[in-house]
A and B are shown apart, each in its own frame.
Chain A
Amino acid sequence: MPLIQIQNLTKTFDLPGRKVEVLRDIDLDIKEGEYLLIFGPSGCGKTTLLNLILGLETPTSGKLKIKDVNTAKLTPQERTAFRYKNFSTVYQNSIWLKSLNVLENVALPLYLGGMSESEAKDKAKEALKLAHTAEFELSRPNELSSGEQQRVSLARAMVTDAQIIIADEPTGNLDSKAGHELMKTLDHLHNLGKTIILVTHNLSYLVHADTKIAMKDGQIIGRFTENALPHNIKEMLEEE
């Protein structure tokens, strides 16, 4: 059974005086341990799809099941708990609790889960080592470069050992070298059996993912496994 099952998923936002259909008839299965890359122009619904998977939004219609749980039917508190247990996230702009140092920020998800401070810090140290950022333990996050912050962000994503890692444009603010380093870490996590869902504009990262899907205007317009962008999909993306 797929880890994530999406069938006929639609998401419409009610705005004053109009309805905006952001996603339409999305069908998608993601297997456990799969590395999925989603790309498409700005505003095509990639982030909304991620938010629905994370349980931060609920679908207008359709089915969304994660580990056979229909998350749309959970209460907000249940969705929060489900998200904590099953997901880790990395965003384009790292967000920190400014009053905590790097180690404490990485340990934060474990604190939220009720773990003791010493145990949480031990696990956080391991995660920082894996992300090659152990030397920044006692620094404040805002003292680090963008690349270093993103690697620490990834360490925070690893610390809870969640099965699914969601990365929304994690290399968006990084130079190519830092971006490359980050992608290597994601590869490593994939090799450890994690399910990775990556949203990016950078088509040079196609080589990292098992499955790639292209989105446009709220729909999936193509699905492929090759490392290069198929011609037909390229044309569809370029169409007005």
Chain B
Amino acid sequence: MKFILLLKLVLRNMLSRKLRFAFTLLASAIAVGSIIFLFSLGYGLESISTEQLVKSDALSQIEATSSKPTDTKLSDEMISQIKSIGEVDSVASSTSLAGKITIGDKTLDNPFYAVSNNYFAMSSIELSAGSFPSQQDKNYILISDKAALAFGIKSQDIVGQELQYQLIVPPVLGGSDTSKKDFTGTVIGTISDSGSAYAYVQDADAVSAGAVSRSILKIKSTNKNDIPALRKKVEDMGLKTSYVGDTLEQMNKFFNYFRMILAALGAIGVIIAILGMFNTLTVSLMERVREVSLLKILGSDDKTIFWMFALESLIFGFLGFVSGIVLFLISKSIIMGLFSRLAERLNNEMVNIFNTPTTLMVIAFIATLTLAFLTGLFPARRALRVNPLDVQKFE
């Protein structure tokens, strides 16, 4: 029989039992839709979590701290030695200090980070107002939104203002109990952070206040493939290193387990759909034993009989996949619509919690059709064993 005729025959038969067809299709659609929904959610949450980590070339740089701050100082000499390593592209430093900020007659305690001018380019710091310093800028300060708010000034309004600040250098960084120094600086920008109050000043201020060691170094590699070699060389100098890739690896492992759990949940729906389809196809065969017998008497070959049932399962699989995608898109848009309203109300940025890679869709499509075909295999093979003489059984 020509394939197109067989397909028409199969479709006609499927649609002759509309309710049964609809329910079987619905079960497949829910199974496919829920699997794609859960996996998309898993990938989406992973993307959100790892996005911050991989910003600003984070995968091409390591951070170094002193493993024994009393013995090994992150001094200028140490920085020069690190810069001479072949795999190093650039080094930025940050020194954590305590201090105070004074604006007018108000003084507040505030943590400070005295950084090299290239530090900002190697970090993921975002500004809410103003700009980062250039290489030539001196006597500047950047404060967080929270710090500005503590003085009752809006971030946009504090940019350009002059203020006084005091840096206190702890002994571990080379200071003494009295290592303090006052400075005057101009606010050139505000850091987008309304959760914590802190400020960034230039590295020269810390040195001027008596610091001989930095708290942390950011070391950028010429090539992210050189990271392992770079880490080894820096660690051989007595430093401790950390790399965002380690965290990323842990997160990938976590999300792999997370996706497995989601898959297990989705698998429950898939099993139910398979059982439903199997039931539909088997009942269809049992109802049509005489029809199959007739076809054999009329001269139908085994291939036609087989594909009459196998095609039915494949059509269920295909339509189930398409319907599942539709269900997923509908549920996704409902959820994202709710999130959007919530984000608007809270004045927050909208976040997309779903990520549906093309490979996921391709794998889901192939898996759906394969499972559908395997489900239809038993009834199809059973149909081949129908005795043509069954046509006479009801005579």
Contact = CB atoms under 8 A, between A and B. Distances in A.
A111 B1 contact: yes
Interface stretch (A15-23, A87-95, A127-135): A87-95
Contacts of B5: 111, 117
Contact of A77 (B1, B290, B301): B301
A186 interface: no
Given A56-B389, A89-B297, A99 B9 contact: yes
Nearest to B302: A77
Interface size bracket, A side: 20 to 34
SS class, residues of chain B in contact with chain A: helix
Interface in B282-308: 290-291, 293-302, 304
Given A93-B394, A93-B395, A83 B9 contact: no
Interface string A76-100: 0100110111000101110111111
A111 B2 CA distance: 7
Contacts of A192: none
Contacts of A51: 389
24 contacts: A54-B297, A56-B297, A56-B388, A57-B389, A80-B296, A84-B298, A91-B395, A93-B394, A95-B293, A97-B9, A97-B13, A97-B295, A98-B16, A98-B291, A100-B12, A108-B295, A109-B298, A109-B299, A112-B300, A112-B301, A117-B2, A117-B8, A169-B395, A172-B395
B347 interface: no
A193 interface: no
Contacts of B389: 51, 56-57
B135 interface: no
Contacts of B302: 77
Given A77-B302, A168-B392, A172-B395, 10 more contacts: A54-B297, A85-B299, A89-B298, A95-B290, A96-B291, A97-B13, A99-B16, A100-B12, A108-B298, A114-B2
Contacts of B297: 54, 56, 83, 89
B391 interface: yes
Interface of A: 47, 51, 54, 56-57, 77, 80-81, 83-85, 89, 91-93, 95-100, 108-109, 111-114, 116-117, 168-169, 172
Contact of A95 (B2, B4, B13, B291): B291
Most A C-beta atoms less than 10 A away, residue of B12, B299, B301: B299
A119 to B, nearest CB: 11
